[in-house]
Amino acid sequence: MDILLSHGYFLELDPIEKKVMRPYPPLGLLYLSAWLKRAGRDVRVFDSTFALPEQLIDTLRETRPRVLGLYANLMTRPRIVNLMARARELGIPVIVGGPDASGNAEQYLTSGATVVVRGEGEVTLTELLDRWTGEIPPTDVAGTSVRIGDAITHAPDRALIPSLEGHPWPDREAIALEPYLNAWRTHHGYGSVSLITARGCPYSCRWCSRAVYGDSHRRRPVDDVIAEIEFIQKRYAPEKLWFVDDVFTIHKGWITEFARKMKAKGIRIPFECISRAERIDDAVAQALVDLGCFRVWIGSESGSQKILDAMDRRVKVETVQAATHMIRARGIEVGFFIMVGYEGEEDQDIVATVDHIRKSEPDIVLTTTSYPIRGTNYAKDVGDRAVNTKPWAIASDRETIIRGRRSQRYYLAARAWIENDAEAHRMWRAGQRLPALKRGLKSLVARVTMRLREGERVA
Ligand code: B12
Ligand code: SF4
């Protein structure tokens, strides 16, 4: 075997993801598998989602691939570092790729990787495998960083694939998709399959990690996406789909053509997607209805224009409110992502966020406390006030603390206030008066806690 591809997302060992239970396969690895197979390579995927690390090690021992390829994001980093060490013990070199590896090449190399593939993986990995014929990997394959002994060499970046036309579909047949569908059906009552219609996002939100695709944006041809959906329907028969695009409705011409052609073919399958408020107007909202969209997630982030501008979100608070009403009026749910703790945020900005959510009336609100991902503009803004509490290899960027910022307990209370207030208002609107009052009480307690902790700062 030329390469075994795998990742560090082990559901059984991840209490948060296990509770959420909304698993999707790692599309990046499946794209690599499809590309390598087309190039005639002997490739296998060990999908760790429903497995345990020991099973991956056993597979390595039994199959002895020439190289192990791992996908890394900031959450799975500690497991990846551990797997790299285990593979090295077996004498199997490791190539790491994905968003965390792209932004932390040196650290991965000094923690056990032989090669890091930065950015888009297909062409780089194919060339690397073609040219890595002996013990020592080549050091001049564009898009790679290589460690030989103690020497680290960074080859220049590789240009992105110019067009996604003719790009093979993700190799879903390389893994078992049934456990995903079963997990969804058991926990949510329906099976869901993910797919992607475009790569990259041209926006520049300061906290967003764009280590893989930069600010590029390439769309797949509409007909190719429809053909993939037809295949998915026939092969896996999921009840729903998730388009994992960064901004699904970014291109009005594309989405309206997609809706028109899907309608002509009589395909309408419920799906959810992520978008931006100002990328949704009447025509786009109608296209979403025609396509069967049941939920749009909007990165609303804050109800304070000052904070949205500081984030470089390039959207007005009022636009988010108007888009939310426009979508909900058509019977599509709206979910909000809200972030607290951003640079410059004061108590009145969080008050503005609560007010904004009340005015917008979304169906779901999910909150996070901001954390600087290495390589982002936000990380540069925070500078050396960002401190890692644990060594790099066993921490994720989410554990970074920011000196001078309000305490973690303050932000937990702020998030509880925002979520409970949103839920109390939603329940009240739905006529669930008693549960609404209970939620209202929780939100009040959270608000009082915020007030009490307002003076706490991270030392
Ligand atoms: C779908 C998705 C999820 C799904 C995961 C499904 C899955 N199993 O992959 C869910 C919802 C579970 C999820 C969760 C999280 N996610 Co997420 N997610 C995405 C999203 C939107 C799409 C991923 C995708 O399919 N991309 C398309 C494929 C084709 O691209 P790719 O994966 O990057 O793969 C290419 C290259 O990276 C490279 N490559 C990848 N692997 C390898 C391996 C080798 C060996 C090589 C050579 C190359 C290589 O080649 C591939 C093909 O070109 C991305 C954003 C994005 N646009 O990528 C965020 C993203 C990956 N997620 C992110 C984050 C932060 C999270 C969470 C931490 C969020 C949270 N707050 O909880 C959690 C972590 C969960 C966990 N425990 O791992 C960040 C990661 C940032 C970072 N630097 O690590 C991203 C980049 C979003 C962002 N812009 O901030 N996520
Ligand atoms: S947060 Fe969304 S819109 Fe902003 S840069 Fe990232 S992917 Fe693009």
24 lines ligand 1 (CB under 6 A): yes
Name the pTM for this structure.
0.97
Check the CA dihedral 295-296-297-302 and report its sign. Answer: negative
Q: Which ligand is nearest to the CA of 68?
A: 1
Question: ∠ CA 204-207-213 to the nearest 5 degrees?
Answer: 55
11 lines ligand 1 (CB under 6 A): no
Side chain identity at 341, as an amino acid letter? G
As given in the structure block, the two tokens for residue 412 are 């937990």
Each residue's pLDDT, cut to its tens digit, for the chain (459 residues) gives 999 999 999 999 999 899 999 999 999 999 999 999 999 999 999 999 999 999 999 999 999 999 999 999 999 999 999 999 999 999 999 999 999 999 899 999 999 999 999 999 999 999 999 999 999 999 999 999 999 999 999 999 999 999 999 999 999 999 999 999 999 999 999 999 999 999 999 999 999 999 999 989 999 999 999 999 999 999 999 999 999 999 999 999 999 999 999 999 999 999 999 999 999 999 999 999 999 999 999 999 999 999 999 999 999 999 999 999 999 999 999 999 999 999 999 999 999 999 999 999 999 999 999 999 999 999 999 999 999 889 999 998 888 999 999 999 999 999 999 999 999 999 999 999 999 999 999 999 999 999 999 999 999
Runs of H (alpha helix) within 94-150: 99-103, 105-110, 122-131
Q: How many angstroms separate the alpha carbon of residue 221 from the centre of ligand 1?
A: 22
Q: How many angstroms separate the alpha carbon of residue 99 from the centre of ligand 1?
A: 7
Among 237, 290, 295, 299, smallest CA distance to 261 is for 290
Q: What is the DSSP letter of 128?
A: H
196 lines ligand 1 (CB under 6 A): yes
The residue whose C-alpha atom lies closest to atom 7 belonging to ligand 2 is: 246
Which atom number of ligand 2 is nearest to the Cα of residue 210?
Answer: 6
Residue 389: what pLDDT? 86
The residue whose C-alpha atom lies closest to atom 87 belonging to ligand 1 is: 209
With a Cβ cut-off of 6 Å, ligand 2 is lined by 201, 203-205, 208, 246-247, 276, 299
Residue 208: what pLDDT? 97
Task: Report the alpha-carbon distance of residue 168 to residue 37 in Å, rounded.
Answer: 10
100 lines ligand 1 (CB under 6 A): yes
In angstroms, the Cα distances linking 15 to 104, 166, 190 are 26, 39, 22
Which atom number of ligand 1 is nearest to the Cα of residue 120?
Answer: 53
